[in-house]
Chains A and B, each alone.
Chain A
Amino acid sequence: MKKRLVLFIPLVLFLVMGVFLYKGLFLNPQNLDSALEGKPIPAFQLERLEDRGDVITNESLKGKVSLLNVWATWCPSCKYEHPYLMRLARQNILPIYGINYRDERAMAIRELNRQGDPYTVNIFDHDGRLGLDLGVYGAPESYLVDHNGIIRYRYAGPIDQRIWNETLLPMVEELQAAAKLDGAS
Chain B
Amino acid sequence: MSKMIFKFFSMILLSMTLISSAFATPVDTYEFKSVDNQKRALELAHSLRCPQCQNQNLIDSNSPVAQDLRLEVYEMVDAGKADNEIIEFMTSRYGEFVLYKPRMEAKTYALWLGPIALLLFGLLIGFFFIRKQRITEVDEQEISAEEQKELDKLLNRKDQ
Q: Chain A residues in contact with chain B, CB under 8 A? A: 29-30, 32-36, 102, 128, 132-138
The residue of chain A having its C-beta at the shortest distance from the C-beta of B91 within the complex is: A35
CB atoms of B54 and A35 under 8 A apart: no
Task: Establish whether residues B65 and A137, one from each chain, have CB atoms under 8 Å apart when the complex forms.
Answer: yes
Q: How far is the CA of A63 from the CA of B33 in the complex (A)?
A: 45
**CB-CB under 8 A for A135 and B93, given A102-B64, A128-B68:** yes
Inside 8 A of B96's CB, which chain A residues have their CB? Answer: 35
The distance in angstroms between the C-alpha atoms of A34 and B93, with both chains bound, is 8
A137 and B95 form a contact (CB under 8 A): no
B-side interface residues toward A, CB under 8 Å?
A: 51-52, 54, 64-65, 68-69, 72, 91-97
Number of A-B pairs whose CB atoms are under 8 Å?
36
Q: Are A137 and B92 in contact (CB under 8 A)?
A: no
Smallest CB separation, A44 vs chain B (Å): 13
Give Cα distance in the complex from A137 to B51, angstroms.
Answer: 6
Instruction: Evaluate whether A135 and B68 lie within 8 angstroms (CB atoms) in the complex, with A29-B54, A32-B51 already known.
Output: no
Min C-beta distance of A28 to chain B, whole Å: 11
Q: Which of B54, B68, B95, B97 contacts A132 (CB 8 A)?
A: B68
Kindly name the residue among A30, A32, A102, A134 whose own CB sees the greatest number of chain B CB atoms within 10 A: A32
Q: Does the CB pair B93–A138 fall under 8 Å?
A: no
B119 to chain A, nearest CB (A): 14
Roughly how many angstroms separate A153 CA and B127 CA in the complex, as a whole number?
Answer: 51
* Docked-complex contact A132 and B51, CB < 8 angstroms: no
Apart from A33-B95, A35-B91, A138-B65, list 5 A-B contacts with CB within 8 A.
A30-B54, A35-B92, A102-B64, A128-B68, A137-B94
Q: Residue among A29, A30, A35, A136 with the most chain B CB within 10 A?
A: A35
> B93 touching A35 by the CB < 8 A rule?
yes
Chain B residues with CB below 8 A from A32, complex form: 51, 94-95, 97
Chain B residues with Cβ below 8 Å from A138 are 52, 65
* Inter-chain contacts of A135 with B (CB < 8 A): 51, 93-95
Considering the chains assembled together, what is the distance between the CA atoms of A134 and B65 in angstroms?
Answer: 12
**Interfacial chain A residues near B97, Cβ < 8 Å:** 32-33
Question: Bound complex: CA of A136 vs CA of B92, how far in Å?
Answer: 12
Residues from chain A with Cβ under 8 Å of B91 in the complex: 35
